[in-house]
Amino acid sequence: MRDTTLPASGTGGVDPGTQAIRVRGIVKEYNLSSGAFTALAGVDLDIEAGEFVAIVGRSGSGKTTLLNLLAGIDRPTSGEISVAGTAVHALREAELAAWRGRTVGLVFQFFQLLPTLTVAENVMIPMDFCRTFPAGERRGRALALLERMGIAEQADKLPSALSGGQQQRAAIARALANDPPILLADEPTGNLDSQTGDAMLQLFTDLTAEGRTIVMVTHERDVSRYISREITLADGRVAGAGASAAGVTA
Ligand SMILES: Nc1ncnc2c1ncn2[C@@H]1O[C@H](COP(=O)(O)OP(=O)(O)OP(=O)(O)O)[C@@H](O)[C@H]1O
């Protein structure tokens, strides 16, 4: 069996006593030629360290908008967002990318690996950008992460030579490169067959056991056996937040 210990610089989680995610009164409006469109209409959320939370809801309910605000990819019209103890809504543009690179790992439906770089080089991107590890250590760390994901032998191939499931494992290795306490995933199993998707969800569950917090947008699968909690969005508001099979309450 392969070593499941993640090569890490820290603990894997947020600092002790720090809430993973706290959202208060988030409103997100988009300005359209026809007028303002409200995508999020006042969302409050509390997510604790080590939770694996699924954000569900119909198409257009605001799931991706919420995830992008948590990642600091987009900014709220009003409201407050604290992620791993940082007031994301208050960060200046110049601070956001560096903060995100160290704090948040992003996983997408279509993997978004750079096609002209090898798998290992893709995993090194966040380390190169944030200079989190000495240059001489980055490739070794990338290889260790790929080993952890079970695809070490794919390290020097281009992403196009990998299966979808292998590409998503490479994308998760990249998301973990800087040892972020928070993972944000937008439909991470949406482009995978159900068996491969289940393996991915199990991997996420294992990562939360290390203290990492995962927020995953999903709309097509029953993920209840993997997650600690489900939060339903409807028309830009939290419509329901339920306990999971694991019994964690909202
Ligand atoms: N950049 C934008 N400009 C204008 N409207 C937008 C923009 N991004 C999202 N919206 C609108 O905001 C609403 C919420 O979109 P969002 O992508 O967050 O929904 P979703 O729940 O993730 O949907 P899906 O499950 O289809 O991905 C939708 O009505 C969408 O059309």
pLDDT tens, position by position, 52-68 = 999 999 999 999 999 99
4 part of a folded domain: no
Range of the domain at 200: 52-68+95-243
How many angstroms does the Cα of residue 218 sit away from the middle of ligand 1?
A: 14
Atom of ligand 1 nearest to the CA of 236: 14
How many angstroms does the Cα of residue 242 sit away from the middle of ligand 1?
A: 23
Is pLDDT of 247 > 60? no
Instruction: Report the domain count for the chain.
Output: 1
Please give the average per-residue pLDDT across 196-206, as a whole number. 90
Give the pLDDT confidence score for residue 249 in this predicted structure: 42
3-state secondary structure of 71: coil
pLDDT band, very low/low/confident/very high, at 155 (cuts 50, 70, 90): very high
13 part of a folded domain: no
pLDDT band, very low/low/confident/very high, at 3 (cuts 50, 70, 90): very low
What lines the ligand 1 site, CB under 6 Å? 30, 32, 37, 39, 57, 59-65, 219
8 part of a folded domain: no
Please say whether the beta carbons of 181 and 213 come within 8 A. yes
pTM for the structure as a whole: 0.90
ipTM field: 0.97
Segment 206-244, tens digit of pLDDT:
999 988 999 999 987 689 899 999 999 999 999 966 655
E-strand ranges in the chain read 21-32, 35-47, 52-56, 78-83, 86-87, 104-108, 182-186, 213-217, 229-234, 237-243
Can you give the length of the chain in residues? Answer: 250
**Residue 132 DSSP one-character state:** -
pLDDT band, very low/low/confident/very high, at 8 (cuts 50, 70, 90): very low
Give the pLDDT confidence score for residue 244 in this predicted structure: 53
pLDDT band, very low/low/confident/very high, at 4 (cuts 50, 70, 90): very low
Give the pLDDT confidence score for residue 191 in this predicted structure: 86
**Residue 89 DSSP one-character state:** G
121 part of a folded domain: yes
Give the pLDDT confidence score for residue 91 in this predicted structure: 94
Instruction: Report the CATH number at residue 177.
Output: 3.40.50.300
Give the pLDDT confidence score for residue 110 in this predicted structure: 86
Please say whether the beta carbons of 186 and 107 come within 8 A. yes
Give the pLDDT confidence score for residue 230 in this predicted structure: 94
CA nearest ligand 1 atom 18, residue? 62
Give the pLDDT confidence score for residue 18 in this predicted structure: 82
pLDDT band, very low/low/confident/very high, at 2 (cuts 50, 70, 90): very low
Q: What angle do CA 126, 46, 75 make, to 5 degrees?
A: 50
CA nearest ligand 1 atom 27, residue? 59
CA nearest ligand 1 atom 7, residue? 30
How far apart are the C-alpha atoms of 12 and 9, rounded to whole Å?
A: 8
How far apart are the C-alpha atoms of 200 and 202, rounded to whole Å?
A: 5
46 part of a folded domain: no
Atom of ligand 1 nearest to the CA of 61: 21
pLDDT band, very low/low/confident/very high, at 42 (cuts 50, 70, 90): very high
Tokens of 35: 């007028």
Mean pLDDT over the full length of the chain: 89
| Higher-confidence position of 193 and 119 | 119
| Higher-confidence position of 80 and 249 | 80
187, with CB counted inside 10 A (0-12, 13-18, 19+), is: buried
130 part of a folded domain: yes
How far apart are the C-alpha atoms of 136 and 144, rounded to whole Å?
A: 14
How far apart are the C-alpha atoms of 17 and 14, rounded to whole Å?
A: 8
62 part of a folded domain: yes
216 part of a folded domain: yes
